[in-house]
Amino acid sequence: MTAPGIDRTGRARLVEDMLSYMTLEEKLGQLRVVRLAQGNRTSSGSITEEVLAALRAGQVTAIEGVGDREEALELQTMAVEQSRFGIPLLFSSKGGSATQGLWPQPLAMAASWDDKAIASVARSVAAEGIHRGWNLVATPAVHHLSSAPWDPASSFGTSRHLVEQIARAMIEGLQGNSPSELENVLCLLCYGPLPPAGPEREASERLIRVILRKSDPAGIEELPAIPGELEDGSVSDIHLAYAGIDLGAWRRLARLGAAQSHETDRQELASGMSEGYLSQTMIDEAVRRVLGAKSDLGLFRDPYLKLGATAKRSTNAIFAGRAAIEDLARKSMVLLRNEDELLPLSRDLGRVLVVGTCTESTVGLRKALGEFGIEHSAVSGLALRSEDCAIPFAPIAADGLAIGIACDAATRSDTVLLALRDSDCEPIDGKPMLGLGAAANALMRALFNANRCFALIELTRLPVDLGDLAQQIPARLLAWTGYEGCETALGEVLVGQVNPSGRMPLALLADDRTASLPFGHGLGYSPVTYSDMAVEFGTDRLIAGTSLHNCGEHDCIETVLLYLRSPAWEACAETQLRCFRRVALAAGENRRVQFELGLEELGDIHADGRVIIEPGSYEILLGKDAAHLAGREIELQGPMIRAIEGLSRNARLRSVGF
C-alpha cells in the first residue's frame, strides 16, 4: 500500500537499497511473524532466548501477542539497535475470534448500515491498539453469511455490497489519511474462511477483489475454517492483484508464517526453493511489500513514535472511544415489531414490570429505564440450577413457582418487558436465528397470557425465532449482545428520545423457508412512505430517485435501498443490492432522494480486475427493504455503456494526475 502524501520515489529507493544489501536469511526474517502465545514464552512469562536471538539477528518482522506497550518498546529497541539493518518491528493483534473485545459483534455492526459510525469505532480500536503497543491491527473476519453458515453472528450479513462498505469503513478508520500519523495504525484485513470451489467461492473472491480495488489495507490474511489449516493455493488469484502484505501468500509460498524457530525457517526455505515453488523473485517481492508498509507507517523515520509517552491514551480518547461504541449500539438496534405503537414508552405509562430469567438478565434494562425516569419493578421469572448440576446456572424449565410469581406481578402491571439473553436460547441448525430454550419459552408464553401489553427486548447475538408467537407478541426490539455498558443508548431508544434506525442485514426465514422478516427490515416510530420512483438517462450516467414522506411525529433515519436485477441473473435478491443511503427526515418532512449510477453501480468486477457492464435489460428497484420495492426496467446497450465507461476512465486519470 502507499498512503496519500507518501514520497513514492523516496520510498521505492529506500526499499530497493535495503533489498540489495540483505542476505537471503535476512529477507526471510522479514517474512517471519512470531506468535508469543505459541511456545515462545517461558513458564515465568518472559520471551524465550531463541526469539530474542532471532530479533538481534534481524530475522523477525512482526510480533503477535505482545504483552503491553512497555514490552513492545523493549523489543523494538532491541530490533533497531542490535540488528545489522535496524529494521523496526510490526506489533500486531490477531484476527478472527481474537478480535472480540476490540470490535463489536460483526452482525450487530452491519445492522447499523452506517459506515461513518463504523469508521469511528475503528478509530477507537486504533487508539486502543496503540495503547497496547500495536501498530498493525486486524479487522474481524470480513465475510458474508454463506461463507460461515455455522456462525451467522460472525458474518456481516448476506449482502456483499454491505460487507464491502463495512470493510472499507474499518480500513479508513484504522489507517486514516496516513498510517504514519500518531493516531493511526496499519490495517490487516482478515477475510474468510472461503467456501469450497464453486459459485459461492468465486463470489467471495470477487468481493475481496472489490474491497482491495477500492481501498488500500496494509495487509490481508485469509482465516481458515480450522485454525492452523490452510490449503496451498486456497486464495486463488486474489493476492496477484494486491500490492500489500499478504500473510496467506507467505504460508502458501514458503510455509513460514507458522514457523516457530529460525532453524525451521531455513529448512523450509531450502525445501521450497529446491522443489521449485519458491524463488528468489518471490521472496524479494514479499519483502518489498513488508518494507514498503513499514515505510508508510513512518517506522524508518521514528520507530518509537507510537510507543512513546505521547502514545498514551488520554481521558478524552477513552471517552471518545466509549462514545463511538455507544453511538453504534444506538444505530444498530432493530425494531422488529411494534403493534399498537407499544413503543416508545412514556413516563406516565403506569406500572412497568421488567422480567428476566434471572436477576442478572434485567440489570442493563433496569438501568436504562431508571436513567430516563421510567418507574418500574422487576422480578426473576425462573430460578437457576445449582452450581453442581450437569448444566450449572441454567434456568429450570418447570419452575412453576417462579413463573407463577412473575405472572401474578404481570397481571397487576400496565406493561411487561421481558429481557432475553443468549443463555436463554439455543442455536437452530440452518437458520441465522436462535431458538427459545424450554425455560424461556414456558416463561414467555405464561407472561404473554397474563398481560398482552408485552414487549420483548432481545439482548442476543441473533434474533430469536418465536415460532407461533412471532405474530402475537406486539413489540420486539433487537438490541444485541456485546453492547454491555451502553444502557444509555438502550434507554434513549425505549423512551423515544432516539428513533430506532437499525435494519436487518439478512432475511429471517420461517420454517417453510419464506421470509418472515425480509432483508433490510426495521421499523421506526414514524412511518415513511415512498412515491414517484423514476429512472432518468443522463449523458454518461443513470439517475434513479424516489420521494420520501415522514408521516409521523418523530424525526427519523430512513435507509433507502437500491437494487439492480437482470433477467439473466439467478442470484438471490440480497446479492444484487448496489447502493443504500441513510436519510435524515424531520417529522412531517418530504424529501426527494436520488442515486447517480455509473460503472461501479451498474457493472460487475471480473477476475482480471476490470469492471464491465453487460448489455441487456435491467431493472432498477428502490425501497425500504427487499419486500417493499418499486422498480423500472431499462435497456443498456453499446452507446450508453461506452459513455458510462468513458466517464469512469476519465475520472481515474484525473485522480492520478494525468
User: pTM above the 0.85 mark?
Assistant: yes
The whole-number average pLDDT for the span 17-23 is 94
Please choose, from the candidates 284, 466, 429, 445, the residue with its C-alpha nearest in 3D space to the C-alpha of residue 355.
445
Please choose, from the candidates 600, 595, 601, 573, the residue with its C-alpha nearest in 3D space to the C-alpha of residue 583.
595
How is residue 326 written as a grid cell?
Answer: 455507544
pLDDT category at 277 given cuts 50, 70, 90 is low
**Higher confidence at residue 192 or residue 431?**
431
Q: What is the structure's pLDDT at 396?
A: 58
Q: What is the structure's pLDDT at 520?
A: 96
The whole-number average pLDDT for the span 495-518 is 85
Lowest-confidence pick of 92-101, 349-358, 523-532, 567-576: 567-576
**pLDDT for residue 257 is more than 50:** no
Domain regions of the chain by residue span: 8-316, 333-517, 528-655
Is the backbone peptide bond immediately before 344 cis, with ω within 30 degrees of 0?
yes
159-203 pLDDT tens trace: 989 999 999 999 999 999 889 898 999 999 998 777 777 777 888
The residue whose grid cell reads 493455493 is 233
Beta strands in 110-262 (DSSP E): 136-138, 186-191, 219-222, 245-246
Beta strands in 51-102 (DSSP E): 62-64, 90-92
Q: Cα(346)–Cα(424) distance, rounded to whole angstroms?
A: 28
Q: What is the structure's pLDDT at 311?
A: 63
CATH number of the domain located at residue range(s) 333-517 in this protein: 3.40.50.1700
β-sheet bridge partners, residue 590: 549
Q: Cα(170)–Cα(66) distance, rounded to whole angstroms?
A: 23
The whole-number average pLDDT for the span 309-323 is 74
Is the backbone peptide bond immediately before 193 cis, with ω within 30 degrees of 0?
yes
Q: Cα(189)–Cα(298) distance, rounded to whole angstroms?
A: 20
Please choose, from the candidates 78, 80, 23, 22, the residue with its C-alpha nearest in 3D space to the C-alpha of residue 51.
78
**Higher confidence at residue 365 or residue 605?**
365
% the chain with pLDDT above 90? 53
Q: What is the structure's pLDDT at 95?
A: 52
Q: What is the structure's pLDDT at 79?
A: 96
**pLDDT for residue 360 is more than 80:** no
Lowest-confidence pick of 220-229, 263-272, 579-588: 263-272
Q: Cα(209)–Cα(148) distance, rounded to whole angstroms?
A: 19
279-288 pLDDT tens trace: 788 889 889 9
Please choose, from the candidates 298, 194, 265, 275, the residue with its C-alpha nearest in 3D space to the C-alpha of residue 236.
194
How far is residue 350 CA from its own chain's centroid? 40
The whole-number average pLDDT for the span 525-553 is 96
How is residue 387 written as a grid cell?
Answer: 452450581
Q: What is the mean pLDDT of the chain?
A: 84
Q: What is the structure's pLDDT at 575?
A: 46
- How far, CA to CA in Å, does 167 sit from each of 143, 150, 174, 421? 9, 21, 11, 28
439-484 pLDDT tens trace: 899 999 999 999 999 999 999 999 999 989 999 999 999 999 988 7
**Higher confidence at residue 567 or residue 347?**
347
Q: What angle do CA 396, 402, 405 make, to 5 degrees?
A: 160
404-424 pLDDT tens trace: 999 999 999 999 999 999 989
Q: What is the structure's pLDDT at 125?
A: 93
Q: What angle do CA 39, 43, 46 make, to 5 degrees?
A: 80
**pLDDT for residue 314 is more than 80:** no
The CATH number of domain 528-655, selected from 2.40.50.420, 3.40.50.150, 3.40.109.10, 2.60.40.10: 2.60.40.10
**pLDDT for residue 24 is more than 50:** yes
Q: What is the structure's pLDDT at 474?
A: 97
The whole-number average pLDDT for the span 322-331 is 95
Q: What is the structure's pLDDT at 434?
A: 94
**pLDDT for residue 570 is more than 80:** no
The residue whose grid cell reads 472499507 is 168
**Higher confidence at residue 258 or residue 434?**
434
123-135 pLDDT tens trace: 999 999 999 999 9
pLDDT category at 71 given cuts 50, 70, 90 is very high
Beta strands in 165-209 (DSSP E): 186-191
Q: Is 403 exposed, middle or buried (0-12, 13-18, 19+ CB in 10 A)?
A: buried
How far is residue 418 CA from its own chain's centroid? 28
- How far, CA to CA in Å, does 311 sit from each of 92, 304, 382? 16, 10, 48
Q: What is the structure's pLDDT at 628?
A: 94
Q: Identify whether the C-beta of residue 58 lies closer than 8 Å to the C-beta of residue 87.
A: yes
What would the DSSP string read from start to end of 340-395?
Answer: GG--S--TT---EEEEESSGGGGHHHHHHHHHTT--EEEEESS-B--TTSSSTTPB
The CATH number of domain 8-316, selected from 3.90.10.10, 3.20.20.300, 3.40.50.970, 3.30.420.40: 3.20.20.300
**pLDDT for residue 263 is more than 50:** no
**pLDDT for residue 533 is more than 90:** yes
Q: What is the structure's pLDDT at 268?
A: 63
**pLDDT for residue 226 is more than 90:** no
Length of the chain: 658
- How far, CA to CA in Å, does 643 sit from each of 543, 606, 646? 14, 20, 5
**pLDDT for residue 653 is more than 50:** no
